[in-house]
Amino acid sequence: MQLDEVLVLDGGLSNALEDRGCDLSSDLWTARLLLDDPAQIAAVHRDYYLAGADVATTASYQASVPSLVAAGLSPQEAERAILASVELARGVRDEAAAETGRSLLVAASVGPYGAVLADGSEYRGRYGVSATVLRDFHGPRLELLASAGPDLFAVETIPDADEAEVLVPLLDELGLPAWFSYSVADGATRARQPLAEAYAVLAGSTSVVAAGVNCSAPADVSAAIASAVDATGRPAVAYPNLGETWDSATHTWAGDGSYDTALASEWVAAGARLVGGCCRVGPAHIAELARALRS
């Protein structure tokens, strides 16, 4: 997969669903709607495509067979729900592509192990489990998502280079193109590893087509892009949140934040070819971003 041109990613799925009145208080978060109201997810995908996004990211970030089984599904029903996350986005992609005449993509979201714990661990890393546990968690889920036919993986909000060391061989075995983005703060991963070391884990991958940062403050993006491009020699991916802080106890965002699309031009100049937004960035932000990058 060649990234010769800049592609606009979508924004946050959760905030867009909440803006539509959806209840995301379940530990399954957005994945709950795969079971209860998939039409809402489809509507958000459509909103982002029509706002100018080239890529929609599936509602599988916090979905896994174990977490869905814990919510009361059978293993077969859980697998079906995960497959549906991709199939749903593909259907919307095809309709939006026909309507707009644009070439559009679907990225299957692969969140970190900590996301399924629903306790904010994806912003800390260092879960206290072995590489075998991580491999047994990620391997079947990656295979299941790949079987549904996404265009690529979005391996996102990874807080820990140790988890990356498990994920990269699994991705390479499957061979589906993937972008890989860490969650970072103050020039390090959330697990406090130097960015140069974290991105070096991705350097030899045969499947990672872009490396970078997501769900981090906009102020942390430029340094992460520089480290990613330097370590991997690949294009960068950048989709920050608004710069607020997630409170895992109350499941709310706190603090002040903003999304300055003017920064996107700096990120592109530094090597980013996939640019969008994460939590609290909505369709209006993406529409503004698309206009800025295509003007």
pLDDT, one tens digit per residue, over 33-73 is 888 899 999 999 999 999 999 999 999 998 999 989 988 88
What CA–CA distances, in Å, run from 20 to 37, 39, 82, 268?
Answer: 12, 11, 22, 32
Question: How many Å apart are CA 53 and CA 276, to the nearest integer?
Answer: 8
Count of the separate structural domains present in the chain: 1
Does residue 182 fall inside a structural domain? yes
pLDDT at 26: 77
Residues spanned by the domain of 185 = 7-294
State pLDDT tens for residues 151-203: 999 999 999 999 999 999 999 999 999 999 999 999 999 999 999 999 999 99
The DSSP element (H or E) to which 44 belongs, if any, is helix 38-51
Residue 59 lies in a domain: yes
142 phi, psi to nearest 5 deg: -60, -45
Position 1 in a domain: no
Is 211 among the domain residues? yes
* Side chain identity at residue 94, one-letter code: D
260-279 per-position pLDDT tens digit: 888 999 999 999 999 999 98
Domain-located, residue 2: no
The answer to the question of residue 176 being in a domain is yes
CA 15 to chain centre: 14
Paired with 179 in beta bridges are 154, 210
Predicted local distance difference test score (pLDDT) of residue 100 = 96
List the CATH number of the domain containing 194.
Answer: 3.20.20.330
- Per-residue confidence at 255, pLDDT binned at 50, 70, 90? low
Residues in CB range of 76: below 8 A, 6 or more apart: none
Determine if the pTM surpasses 0.85. Answer: yes
